[in-house]
């Protein structure tokens, strides 16, 4: 470590950053707050909860534990984390059920838009001594009919070798391991980065308390996050995982799909690993 004193990553700090980020990116355009729809959804949510209370004879003590926990989730800024870990995967499933192209999966709480634009052959912004196995991630963006998509962009963001995301943990350069790669005229891209580490959601906040209280684990498998888009096509938000990695089989966020597991091999230049993954985009 060359840093003098590194600030500790805390649940409250990453929660505050995730809440702030969400407020600047929420997809609420076009949502009409239809009374009938709100009535249906909220009534069913409440009825399901009433049923659980009756079947399990939930006590006042348990009710108060729930109340204080919910208050604390807000104070910790962990609503984005909680929702993205335990609900988003079903929202994504419904949103993308009719896609013919590449599989998507959840976005999670740590996306930041407008990352630095990089050429088709790119190295992600990283520290001079960035730890981790070098990875060449390459591929092509095409339409469902195989047409190469000129003007495609591949936004990529991922954790470092310690499982930390730039802008959500202290001490990392602003755009570390984040970039917007502009593919070439045939939709090809070559991205040099490092392999991320498995990610443990903060254990010192409300989500961590829930996990400990329920006897669960807090891990997501190592993953690359991506948003791939091209003119006239639907943007896909996805993640890619690493075959044989820890927690590929038991992701706390339930976001792994078999189509999203990479099997990198040795790099042609002898430096770490390389892997090819092509993205297929549905027409807009």
Residues contributing to the site for ligand MBD (CB under 6 A)? 81, 84-85, 106, 108-110, 199, 201, 220, 253, 255
In angstroms, give the least distance from the CB of 232 to Fe ion: 29
| Strand, coil or helix: 258 | helix
| Contact (Cβ atoms closer than 8 angstroms) between residue 115 and residue 179 | yes
Q: Which of Fe ion, ligand MBD, none is residue 253 near (CB under 5 to 8 Å by kind)?
A: ligand MBD
Count the alpha carbons within 13 Å of 58 in the hemisphere toward its beta carbon.
13
Task: Name which of 166 and 230 has its Cβ closer to ligand MBD.
Answer: 166
Query: Smallest distance, Å, CB 223 to ligand MBD?
Result: 6
Listing DSSP states for 164-204 in one string gives: --BTTBTTS-TTTTEEEEE--TTSEEEEEEEPPPPEE--SS
109 interacts with, out of ligand MBD, Fe ion, none, CB within 5 to 8 A per kind: ligand MBD
Residue whose CB is nearest to ligand MBD in the complex, by number: 108
Q: How far is the CB of 252 from ligand MBD (least distance, A)?
A: 8
Q: How many amino acids of this chain bind Fe ion (CB under 5 A)?
A: 1
Q: Give 159 or 183: the residue with its C-beta nearer to ligand MBD.
A: 159
Question: How far apart are CB 255 and Fe ion at their closest, in Å?
Answer: 9
φ/ψ of 144, rounded to 5, equals -60, -30
Question: Is 80 a residue that touches Fe ion (CB under 5 A)?
Answer: no
202 binds Fe ion (CB under 5 A): no
Q: Which is nearer to ligand MBD, 142 or 237 (CB)?
A: 237
Residue tagged 């079947």 (tokens)? 55
- Binders of Fe ion among 82-141, rule CB under 5 A? 108
CB 194, CB 132: distance < 8 Å:
yes
Cα–Cα separations (whole angstroms), residue 119 to 38, 183, 279:
45, 7, 18
Q: Measure the CA dihedral 169/90/260/107, to 10°.
A: -30
Question: Considering CB distances under 5 to 8 angstroms, the limit depending on partner class, which of ligand MBD, Fe ion, none binds residue 169?
Answer: none
């Amino acid at each position: 470590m060359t840093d003098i004193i590194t600030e500790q990553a805390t649940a409250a700090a990453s929660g505050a950053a995730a809440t702030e980020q969400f407020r600047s990116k929420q997809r609420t355009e076009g949502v009409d707050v239809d009374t009938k729809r709100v009535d249906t959804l909220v009534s069913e949510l409440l009825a399901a909860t009433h049923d659980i209370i009756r079947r399990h004879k939930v006590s006042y003590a348990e009710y108060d534990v729930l109340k204080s926990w919910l208050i604390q989730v807000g104070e910790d800024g962990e609503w984005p984390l909680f929702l993205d870990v335990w609900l988003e995967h079903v929202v994504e499933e419904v949103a993308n059920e009719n896609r013919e192209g590449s599989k998507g999966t959840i976005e999670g709480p740590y996306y930041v838009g407008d990352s630095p634009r990089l050429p088709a052959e790119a190295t992600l912004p990283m520290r001079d001594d960035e730890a981790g196995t070098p990875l060449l991630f390459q591929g092509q963006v095409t339409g469902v009919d195989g047409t190469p998509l000129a003007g495609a962009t591949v936004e990529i963001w991922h954790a470092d070798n310690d499982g930390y995301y730039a802008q959500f943990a202290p001490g990392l350069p602003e755009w570390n391991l984040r970039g917007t790669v502009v593919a070439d005229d045939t939709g090809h891209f070559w991205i040099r980065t490092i392999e991320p580490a498995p990610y443990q959601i903060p254990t010192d906040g409300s989500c961590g308390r829930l996990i400990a209280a329920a006897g669960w684990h807090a891990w997501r498998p190592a993953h690359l996050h991506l948003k791939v888009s091209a003119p006239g096509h639907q943007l896909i938000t996805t993640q890619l995982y690493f075959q044989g990695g820890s927690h590929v089989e038991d992701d706390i966020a339930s976001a792994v799909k078999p189509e999203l597991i990479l099997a990198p091999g040795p790099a042609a230049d002898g430096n770490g690993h390389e892997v090819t993954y092509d993205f297929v985009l549905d027409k807009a």
